[in-house]
Structure 1
Amino acid sequence: MSEYPLIADHGLIGDLQTAALVATDGTVDWFCAPRFDSPSIFGALLDHGHGGHCRIRPTAEAFTRKQLYIPGTAVLVTRFLTEAGVGEVVDFMPVASRAASESHRLVRTVRCVRGRITFDVEIAPRFDYGRERHQTRQWAQGVQFRGDRTALTVDLIRDPDDGRETEIWVDSDGDVHAEVELVAGETRGLVLDTGVRAAPRQVPTVEARRLFDETVGYWKRWLAQSTYAGRWRETLHRSAITLKLMTYAPSGGLVAAPTAALPEQVGGERNWDYRYTWVRDASFSVYSLLGMGFREEAAALGRWLRERVEERVDKDGGGPLNIMYRIDGSSDLTEETLDHWEGYRGSGPVRIGNGAAGQLQLDIYGEALDSIYVADRHGQPAGHQGWRRICDVLDWLTDNWDQPEEGIWETRGGRQDFTYGRLMCWVAFDRGIRLATAHGRPAAVGRWRAERDAVYDQIMTRGWSQERRAFRQHYDTDVLDSALLRMPRVGFVTPTDPMWLSTLAAMDAELVTDSLVYRYDPAASPDGLRGSEGTFSLCTFAYVDALSLAGQVDRAQMVFEKMLTYANHLGLYSEEIALTGEQVGNFPQAFTHLALIDAAISLNRRLDRRAPDTT
């Protein structure tokens, strides 16, 4: 299905409430509004024929295309080189206020930088995943698409004294087409606005330039907060901007990815909706963002986590926390399939919502408590009510940690006694004890300590496979699991413990292929789903961190440098890497970029320690 671009052939733009993907051919093929988790306006990435798109590209039969970000920003430039001239499409979204809004603007300026060039413009929205029909009205200043619940207004960018009219026509499907002829120095464009308005208006180029300057200025000022000055600075800055683009400003929640249903295996069924905030991802984010100096974002995520801890304590018997929430903190994530869409390159079913939301995953308690502990050490302590809820969570965990669960990978093959889940329960008790001791707060520290030690003893006896000489995925298998690469990072084992080094060697032999790391072997550990998957990019960066901590610094650096070659042309990563090196899964994935930041900071620190003293 060649009409689908590669997942990696996209850049991400956004306004801190929603985001859009722009392909290297100038097509916006994924855009949901007014929030990340809203129904789609453009969704051609999941159904080329029926998903909807906004495309701007040259009319020339042959052209070369390039794509880059304006350095230090989230402003995307797609360049087209033709025999007659060179043109650019500059895409950005003016940053929204912190208040939730129905109106979001996607600005697409078109300019000729050399010679002359003609652009073909096609705007074909398909509201609500193609389920909401719309009417199209045309004015001299632009067009408006209006459905029963959704509206999209398109304002034309041009100067009042521009004597050339842009010929616009509407086809039988209500889609809009136009051709824009430009010579060197000329600029036109579009502003797509999701707010409900009476009519479009003409946007002067000077106003479009002001929006551009304001957006560039915002991102440069934001990035200037970074305190990271080590190796791979540009790579980490791009990851930080990407994470910021996936943050919902009104709540501080971070979506796992701005996309839904992109397949982990092309043609397979592992197609999930990632437009939600996982407790796990949010917890890791606090550590990563603080590591780069972004204290405000870390504080916002910390508040989001504490709100989730404080608002609900075992109301339905499922535990104090859900594993994921909508970005506003609500928990309605009912999963459904879009049977009328074929899926990316025929990869069905297309799922929206997420049925894993009701799973029991015990590891989230350790991750949440660890992030609260890290925030506390950086001067962001929990207040009295927050501490009482933390105690409630840990008291619940003392009674519930020793039970089967679905695990970090959200398998649908039944509950197991996952070693990683037990590991993070140990972390939860350990961090709770540390917090209570550091601040002299009232807590059942004696009971927490007893449970922490019981978890430790259980992992060391039942989580250890004597036959494999390695820690295993769960107690009824000898399968390895790369989630356990975090064991030394959280302090459960020392990085040079013989048991850990033996586990690392076993993982290297079974889960690592040319430096890329699989989560586990699904053939040996059935997860309830058909098909296979690629290597997991998060795990590869966790492997770098584990090697670095174990003193294998040269090898860690080589693995890290190799992994950087799998990034797309803009430095973005999806969830997984297929056997061919193709990026698969939802894109870009927050977890991967978080792990990249952590691995780089850890590796850079150890390289500095090893560097010779030149003073």
Structure 2
Amino acid sequence: MRDDDRAAGPGPRGEPDDTYLPIAEHGLIGDLRTAALVGTDGRVDWFCAPRFDSPSVFGSLLDAERGGCWSIEPVCQVATHNQFYFPDTNILITRMLTADGIVEVQDFMPIRRERDPDHRQRLVRRVVNVRGRMRLAVRVAPRMDYGRASHRVERTPDGVRFTAAALTLSLRASVPLETDAGDARAEFDLPERSSALFVLEAADDPISCATGMVDAVVAEELFEATVAFWRRWLRQSTYTGRWREMVHRSALTLKLLTHEPSGAIVAAPTLGLPELVGGARNWDYRYVWIRDAAFSLYALLRLGFTQEAQAFMDWLTERLRTAGDGHAGPLRVMYSIDGAERLPEETLEHLEGYRGSYPVRTGNDAGLQRQLDIYGELIDSVYLFNKYGPGISHASWMDLCAILDWLMEHWDTPDESIWETRAGQQHHTYSRLMCWVAVERMIRMARQRGLPGDLGRWTTVRDRIYHQIMARGWDPRARAFVQRLSADADSPPPDILDASLLLMPMVKFVSPADPRFLSTVEAITGRLVADSLVFRYDPKESPDGLLGTEGTFSICSFWLVEAFARTGDVEQARLALEKMFTYANHVGLYAEQIGMTGEHLGNFPQAFTHLALISSAINLDRAMG
């Protein structure tokens, strides 16, 4: 039997309504190729297949009407929803408590085993009746290609198949399924202590889809294998500090954002989640930012995960070998998972956006910008890999030398810098700082290993950058290092504070006891901090070319923790860290930003935030002895 699905076409954008869960009311599952967000109501409302950057299959997170979702819920009214991770894993359990009983949904994606040619990409949902006699309703409503593509649905002996031009989904279930206008539905009774199983498999074509019934034995095997994988991976962690639960959850999240076949690390698994609900600052983060990935490499190395660090270095080596000399530099700011450089920004006109936050964009034009800071973050991560890992190869060293040659000629030029503003290029202090890091780390590696390099020239340029920052990046009126350099040493720079400069002692540019840095922390605390939450800068002082406002940046809040720890204010650091932990969601995840009422904003979860949590916890542990 075959039905025609309705294609979700363009239409008028609806008003925001209460059909959207808060961003924070989600957990994340994945298989190291893609990921899915599962709400506390048991609904999968974000899932791209087969990769992080593929078009969405379920996208009701960005349009409740047109996006598509997979819901599992009791027919009776639910009194309470709870959600947690199965200990030391990325298996998500959602519990729904009703007057009739308790049901839980166990969501996970099995990890591909080595040398397993029969592995298929699967999203497994096991529904268990814990107590009582429950009647449940299931609706599987895929909307292919962000809701732009139509699909056909047909019954199969073991379930239902959804077929579109570029993707086929096979849904196998242990209960009978019906089809309705392109969706699959089921309503069934679940006796106490029994379970039902649903397995959604993605394939390029119908022939590749699996067939055969699914049963409790298969479900238990998949569950146990997934538990074993995550626990075996987490046992490699060397962290034994005070905040083990939060650090390990962040490590597990970073691992989920790793694309295992390539070694790439994406910035976040989502697109279009707003920095202000109803606003236009809505970006696509499902790509590899050199900056974010470099910081992630640092965090993973600090925890002892050298295999992931090696995989990312292999991915990075390919980018170094193909580096050109475009107008923005030899490296791009971001790449696709497989290294593509062009990620054109496109607006999905038919989607209303999360709670009416329009436009919804795919791709990201920030990839065309010049951001000079990426060279410092990149080379610093290579330096750490060279120090704590097996060491870089001759070919990689020569590639880095070629990139440094370019930087020698271009460090003293304007750029868009770390915050990717769209108000034109400026001479950013942070970019100069990271150019200094790039040169300084190359000098260190050359001296430590006796590697060839023009040390005389490198040293001269390094010192020039240092003196420029000290002369033109320091504002004696504000008594702080500021966002932009002055025109010359005799004129004051613009009085604009920037939280990125909290990193100065962390990259060893200044001592944490340097009076200039201490007064910079004091100025930032006074003007950019609200109860431990840190704004990256004040858009009123520094127009960024974008409409609207935004929340506080979680990574900056963790940078403040580390700044306090390094300057010796351990009590203030610990208080700020404990406060930041209260802003985590119910399963320990963070979005890019936090609003002033504690709501999560921006793409979710964000690698940048979780790696900063790891770094701040490790360094505060050290400061506390």
Specify the TM-score bucket, using the shorter chain as the normaliser: over 0.9
CA positional deviation for 1:178: 0.8
RMSD (Å) for aligned C-alpha atoms: 1.4
1:52 aligned partner: 68
2:200 aligned partner: 192
Q: Deviations over 1:445-469 (max 9, x none)?
A: 1111111101001100111111111
Rounded Cα–Cα distance in structure 1 between residues aligned with 2:42 and 2:402: 51
Comparing 348-357 and 298-307, the one that deviates more: 298-307
Rounded Cα–Cα distance in structure 2 between residues aligned with 1:47 and 1:553: 45
- Which residues in structure 2 correspond to 1:23-172 (within 5 Å)? 23-96=39-112, 103-156=120-173, 158=174, 166-171=175-180
2:31 aligned partner: 15
1:611 aligned partner: none
- Partner of residue 211 from structure 1, selected from 211, 214, 222: 222
- Which residues in structure 2 correspond to 1:287-436 (within 5 Å)? 287-314=298-325, 316-436=326-446
CA positional deviation for 1:46: 0.3
Rounded Cα–Cα distance in structure 1 between residues aligned with 2:439 and 2:244: 35
Instruction: Look up the equivalent residue of 1:289 and give its one-letter code.
Output: L
Instruction: Look up the equivalent residue of 2:589 and give its one-letter code.
Output: L
1:613 aligned partner: none
2:191 aligned partner: 183
Q: Decide whether the 8 Å contact of 1:472 with 1:481 is kept in 2.
A: yes
Comparing 556-565 and 324-333, the one that deviates more: 324-333
The number of aligned residues is: 598
Name the SS for the 2:130 alignment partner. Answer: strand
Rounded Cα–Cα distance in structure 2 between residues aligned with 1:442 and 1:595: 33
CA positional deviation for 1:3: 0.3
Structure 2 residue 614 is the aligned partner of structure 1 residue 603: no
2:271 aligned partner: 260
CA positional deviation for 1:83: 1.0
Q: Decide whether the 8 Å contact of 1:335 with 1:353 is kept in 2.
A: yes
Q: Decide whether the 8 Å contact of 1:286 with 1:299 is kept in 2.
A: no
Q: Decide whether the 8 Å contact of 1:34 with 1:101 is kept in 2.
A: no
Rounded Cα–Cα distance in structure 2 between residues aligned with 1:402 and 1:271: 31
Name the SS for the 2:421 alignment partner. Answer: coil
CA positional deviation for 1:252: 0.8
List, as ranges, runs of 4+ consecutive aligned residues in structure 1 with deviation greater than 4 Å: 97-103
Q: Decide whether the 8 Å contact of 1:18 with 1:36 is kept in 2.
A: yes
CA positional deviation for 1:101: 10
Comparing 326-335 and 522-531, the one that deviates more: 326-335
Structure 2 residue 281 is the aligned partner of structure 1 residue 278: no
2:500 aligned partner: 483
Instruction: Look up the equivalent residue of 2:178 and give its one-letter code.
Output: W
- Structure 1, unmatched stretches of 5+, are 159-165, 609-615
Q: Deviations over 1:232-272 (max 9, x none)?
A: 10111100000000000011111000000100000001000
Q: Call closer, same or farther: CA 1:437–1:62 in 2, change over 3 Å.
A: closer
Name the SS for the 2:38 alignment partner. Answer: strand
Q: Decide whether the 8 Å contact of 2:163 with 2:206 is kept in 1.
A: no
Rounded Cα–Cα distance in structure 2 between residues aligned with 1:98 and 1:588: 27
Instruction: Look up the equivalent residue of 1:139 and give its one-letter code.
Output: T
Comparing 59-68 and 209-218, the one that deviates more: 59-68
Q: Decide whether the 8 Å contact of 1:305 with 1:368 is kept in 2.
A: no
Rounded Cα–Cα distance in structure 2 between residues aligned with 1:391 and 1:97: 38
- Which residues in structure 2 correspond to 1:502-521 (within 5 Å)? 502-521=519-538
Comparing 101-110 and 10-19, the one that deviates more: 101-110
CA positional deviation for 1:383: 1.1
Q: Decide whether the 8 Å contact of 2:78 with 2:96 is kept in 1.
A: no
Rounded Cα–Cα distance in structure 1 between residues aligned with 2:83 and 2:569: 36
Q: Decide whether the 8 Å contact of 1:280 with 1:367 is kept in 2.
A: yes
Rounded Cα–Cα distance in structure 1 between residues aligned with 2:125 and 2:596: 35
Structure 2 residue 544 is the aligned partner of structure 1 residue 541: no
- Which residues in structure 2 correspond to 1:548-587 (within 5 Å)? 548-587=565-604
Instruction: Look up the equivalent residue of 1:356 and give its one-letter code.
Output: A
Instruction: Look up the equivalent residue of 1:357 and give its one-letter code.
Output: G
Rounded Cα–Cα distance in structure 2 between residues aligned with 1:30 and 1:78: 16
What TM-score does the superposition give when structure 1 sets the normalisation length?
0.96
Q: Deviations over 1:161-185 (max 9, x none)?
A: xxxxx443222x3111111211112
2:464 aligned partner: 454
What TM-score does the superposition give when structure 2 sets the normalisation length?
0.94
Instruction: Look up the equivalent residue of 2:220 and give its one-letter code.
Output: R
Q: Decide whether the 8 Å contact of 2:197 with 2:215 is kept in 1.
A: no
CA positional deviation for 1:317: 3.5
Comparing 569-578 and 78-87, the one that deviates more: 78-87
Rounded Cα–Cα distance in structure 2 between residues aligned with 1:85 and 1:140: 32
Instruction: Look up the equivalent residue of 1:556 and give its one-letter code.
Output: A
Name the SS for the 1:194 alignment partner. Answer: strand
Q: Decide whether the 8 Å contact of 2:112 with 2:119 is kept in 1.
A: no
Identity over aligned pairs, percent = 54
Q: Decide whether the 8 Å contact of 2:333 with 2:374 is kept in 1.
A: yes
Name the SS for the 1:80 alignment partner. Answer: strand
Rounded Cα–Cα distance in structure 1 between residues aligned with 2:215 and 2:231: 25
CA positional deviation for 1:380: 2.6
Rounded Cα–Cα distance in structure 1 between residues aligned with 2:24 and 2:520: 33
Q: Call closer, same or farther: CA 1:502–1:101 in 2, change over 3 Å.
A: farther
CA positional deviation for 1:143: 0.3
Q: Deviations over 1:134-168 (max 9, x none)?
A: 01101341000111211111011x3xxxxxxx443
Q: Decide whether the 8 Å contact of 1:313 with 1:393 is kept in 2.
A: no
Instruction: Look up the equivalent residue of 2:547 and give its one-letter code.
Output: R
Name the SS for the 1:556 alignment partner. Answer: helix
Rounded Cα–Cα distance in structure 2 between residues aligned with 1:110 and 1:397: 56
Structure 2 residue 250 is the aligned partner of structure 1 residue 239: yes
Rounded Cα–Cα distance in structure 1 between residues aligned with 2:426 and 2:571: 37
Structure 2 residue 482 is the aligned partner of structure 1 residue 466: no
Name the SS for the 1:605 alignment partner. Answer: helix
Rounded Cα–Cα distance in structure 2 between residues aligned with 1:484 and 1:26: 41
